[in-house]
Structure 1
């Protein structure tokens, strides 16, 4: 049975971990969201979130986006390649409803699976 948990080891926590991804990333983006990814040396994917107060003014909107992104990652982590991901939300991201946000995340992470995974 597969455990769908989100422990600390699946998160990017330090500036060095984020800088690793920012230095030579693979990029997948839509108008509202960009996901940067870089293959890591671990056997599991990790995620970091960058939701700027500059673009998403209200804390409740930033928290909603982060919560939904983490939940999507938690449920689909077993499908993702062993990469470090940074999800960047751009201007207008707060206008996305929950279902649209999930569809965008699915589309962007599917891009990484096609690029890296061998089926």
Structure 2
């Protein structure tokens, strides 16, 4: 067992509108057809995550919750590969039709893309 901490604690979350605004001001994007990830370097010792799944894009509450749960889990397992950035994951139209497997595959690709772009920007 490694010494890596795989918890998704309160400190790993973007909680306030101020945190979200900080990312939106100078975001580094990593888009895909169903998901856009925005990131901005932070002064924390780890990456932090915020998620938006608009009701307009995913009507069913159980689908919105499933999507958020999958995003959190993917982030939790990938956070050690990411630089110290604040991340916002924005769901787009069509994400509700993705299977769990396809959503996870897309997220893995986006974490990798984001990792490269953030390292180039710093």
Equivalent residue number for residue 97 of structure 1: 99
2:110 alignment partner, SS class:
helix
CA deviation after TM superposition for structure 1 residue 117, in Å: 3.9
Q: TM-score, normalised by structure 2?
A: 0.93
Contact 1:81/1:112, CA 8 A, preserved across alignment: no
Cα-Cα RMSD:
1.1
Separation of aligned partners in 2, 1:77 and 1:69? 12
Q: TM-score, normalised by structure 1?
A: 0.95
How many aligned residue pairs are there? 118
Gaps of at least 5 residues in structure 2 are: none
Moved more, 24-33 or 108-117: 108-117
Gaps of at least 5 residues in structure 1 are: none
Deviations 1:3-36 (A, max 9, x none): 2100000000000000000111011111100000
Runs of 4+ with >2 A deviation: 115-118
1:68 alignment partner, SS class:
helix
CA deviation after TM superposition for structure 1 residue 76, in Å: 1.1
Equivalent residue number for residue 8 of structure 1: 10
2:73 alignment partner, SS class:
helix
Please tell me whether residue 107 in structure 1 is matched to residue 84 in structure 2: no
Equivalent residue number for residue 25 of structure 2: 23
